[in-house]
Amino acid sequence: MSVTAQEASTDRRASCPAMMVAAPASNQGKTTVTAALARYHRNQGRRVRVFKTGPDFIDPTILEKASGAGVEQLDLWMVGEETCQTLLADAASQSDLILVEGVMGLYDGSPSSADLAKKFGLPVLLTVDASGMAQSFGAIVHGFTTYDPELAFAGVMANKVGSPGHADMLSETLTDGVPYLGHMLRDNEAVLPDRHLGLFQAAEISDLDVRLDRLAEQIEGTRLAELPQEIEFVSGEPNVVDQHLEGMTIACANDAAFSFAYAANIRCLKAMGAEVKFFSPLNDITLPECDAIWLPGGYPELHLDQLAQNLAMKIAMKAAHEAGTPILAECGGLLYLLDILEGVDGKKAEMAGLLPGHGKLNSKLSAIGAQSLAMSSGVLRGHTFHYSSLETPLESVARATSVRLNKPGEAIYSVGNLVASYVHFYFPSCPAAIADIFKSGKNNGVLG
């Protein structure tokens, strides 16, 4: 059935209460507050959709558990303005509330959370970790809410507050008419545990529902329980993806060691005509029948013994590689394909041995930031974030570009039809380039 231009335009508009949860810096409790709000409103019977600003794999697992709905990434550079617009409009047409968790500090990065909020008219809930703080709370709020006059604020809330009296003291320090919407007390029984890459993933926290409900109870009776203002979103033009992978089956690693895969990447593969079959390098002894393999990032360093002892899977991976099956390995996937992987405690384990080299987990961050990779069929966008380092005799076949620094970024390695890098790619940024990797790997010159 045909749709007129006027009807299509009408169909692309949707309104929904929405706001961004942001903070002055990382580790202020943005995820905790966003999860508490999502769970509270879900418990009231509302349909809640949550988005995460920036290329994050971990926080979305918590936010999905809190809201009961899938969580997508919003990033003006990696995802693109038009796709972000469409994701928000689609969510608005099906939801009673949209929450967007910011990344790092409100004004950090380019583009920043503030840039995203301004682009789509999202009012900001400024979340401040007020532990060990009194009058300085008002100074921080004043600075952040006046720094950019074009940015709208829904209000401010205090997190990790010591007592109701402490909360009263904090609220009295506000001088600019910014609404004080409430506070959340420190609650050790509800804290979300973390490690080197961030929070634990939802599946690793056995009592997560209990913690989320405890957090949601703190929203009750505060102005935080009120719905934010309604925002109108307009969908971008439909993105038509060519059937580059029609008839292909791609095996995607998916378990506790390899879980850093964007939902948008899976959708992109399917939109290109591929069937996606999941398997576990931790537990399975064979690969599914497939035409290509994708090893996303994750936590192989936390599962050294199990990965090393699963000889059948390592043999299956080696046989697939020797048979010419295209393989894409990202970050943790790259580490799994090395000869040796060493944990932060110095313990070493033998990995699959498809890439010569030794990976080592370090106690400090090794690399972070947006990355782009120029290929013969276009430019792939993504990011890097890892604590490990790599020693290999291999020469890189290409290098990504560090977008912020405008200089060479992560190395791209290849052996046969295997392509491996620390970069986590966002497939929809250039589907044709991803299709080239999964169809032919390096041997057809897709890396330039």
To the query of whether residue 331 is one of the catalytic residues in this protein, the response is yes
Question: Which of the following is catalytic: 252, 268, 331, 430?
Answer: 331
The 3-state secondary structure of the chain, one letter per residue: CCCCHHHHHHHCEEEEEEEEEECCCCCCCHHHHHHHHHHHHHHCCCCEEEEEECCCCCHHHHHHHHHCCCCEEECHHHHHHHHHHHHHHHHHCCCCEEEEECCCCCCCCCCCHHHHHHHHCCCEEEEEECCCCCCHHHHHHHHHHHCCCCCCEEEEEEEEECCHHHHHHHHCCCCCCCCEEEEEECCCCCCCCEECCEECCHHHCCCHHHHHHHHHHCCCCCHHHCCCCEEEEECCCCCCCCCCCCCCEEEEECCCCEEECCHHHHHHHHHCCCEEEEECCCCCCCCCCCCEEEECEECHHHHHHHHHHCHHHHHHHHHHHHCCCCEEEECHHHHHCEEEEECCCCCEEECCCCEEEEEEECCCCCEEEEEEEEECCEEEEEEEEECEEEECCCCCCEEEEECCCCEEEEEEEEECCEEEECCEEEHHHCHHHHHHHHHHCCCCCCCC
Catalytic residues: 331
